Copies of this chain bind each other. A is one copy, B any other.
Amino acid sequence: MPVISYIEALTQALDEEMSRDENVFIMGEDVGMRGGVFQATKGLYEKYGENRVIDTPLAESAIAGVGIGAAMYGMRPVAEMQFSDFMLPAANQIISEAAKMRYRSNNDWSVPMTIRAPFGGGVHGGLYHSQSMEAIFANVPGLKIVIPSTPYDVKGLLKASIRSNDPVLFFEHKRAYRLIKGEVPNHDYVLPLGKADVKRKGTDVTVITYGLMVHFALQAAEKLADEGISVHILDLRTVYPLDKEAIIEAASKTGKILLLTEDTKEGSIMSEVAAIIAENCLFDLDAPIKRLGAPDAPAMPYAGPLEQAFMVKPEQVENELRNLAEF
């Protein structure tokens, strides 16, 4: 199987979906001739033309809102928000409109739209090019929020998102774009939305996480294996609505749980995961449910040492896991 990068998997999925279904089109800032500021849509403008890869005006609420209208007409827009930080001007369109369209029209209208956005830190992006925005939208029924961790998942989940008949927020970790490589079949496949995935089996401690943090967990697990600690890793993949069964199963399995996110801790996705566990398998627990996240500061600073201080570090993951194992 070819080994490609996270972002290549993305472009491949877009390309395949566009050639498969003429209703799929791309819209966003600089997605056309420039191929996106991260080059996620590279080559697609040349291949599909300016009608299907649309450089929009600099206006996120319009990008989302126009996308909604196009989706209502029967298209499958894939809208890019240049950075997830910049999707807030579109919050009203996403939360009040896209998410509620099917419900409020009693299943008459629907919004088969995917909104892609790079998120996450560790790239020297400062306050507004590093944020995790998923928690803001993770209380909005009608939305699905997908966050892949590997190139394989990127391709399968993006295709599933595009084919979904409901709106999907698809967050891509910008540091993973070129850092993370992996095997990706050339052929067409989809992965189920709403399903978490066991990325490593283990018996002593469970990590539940998503995005880049999956790789931090995998690294830590590798190291701890040498120490005789066996780590179980569940990658949520869809962070809203959550895969409750998988969470309960993974938590019950070891009874010692680390919930890991690079988002600020209070009010993060991991709060809900903790609540699910505490509600459903409390008596299977052998240790308090530990959460590891970023400090509760507004966002990741630009200066190197401050960025470092903000971002969760692989060693922290390792330490927390060791502590739990020894609990």
Interface residues of A (CB under 8 A from B): 61, 85, 88-89, 91-92, 95-96, 99-100, 103-104, 127-128, 135-142, 240-242, 259, 263-264, 266-272, 274-275, 277-280, 282-283, 285, 287-291, 296-299
Contacts and interface: CB of A to CB of B under 8 A. Distances in A.
B282 A275 contact: no
Contacts of A289: 275, 278-279, 282
A252 to B, nearest CB: 13
A241 B271 CA distance: 13
Contact of A279 (B89, B100, B291): B291
A272 B279 contact: no
Contacts of A139: 135-136, 263-264, 266-268
Nearest to A275: B274
A140 B104 CA distance: 29
A291 B100 CA distance: 24
Nearest to A274: B275
Contacts of A298: 99-100, 103-104, 140-142
Nearest to A244: B266
Copies in the complex: 2
A267 B272 contact: yes
A287 B279 CA distance: 9
Given A88-B95, A275-B274, A127 B104 contact: yes
Nearest to A286: B282
Identify the interface centre among A92, A138, A241, A288: most chain B CB within 10 Å of its CB: A92
10 contacts: A89-B92, A135-B139, A135-B267, A136-B136, A240-B266, A240-B267, A241-B266, A267-B269, A275-B275, A280-B288
A128 B299 contact: no
A-B residue pairs, 7 tightest by C-beta: A139-B267, A274-B275, A88-B92, A91-B91, A135-B139, A278-B278, A271-B272
A104 B242 CA distance: 33
B279 A275 contact: no
Q: Most chain-B CB neighbours within 10 Å: which of A85, A96, A99?
A: A96
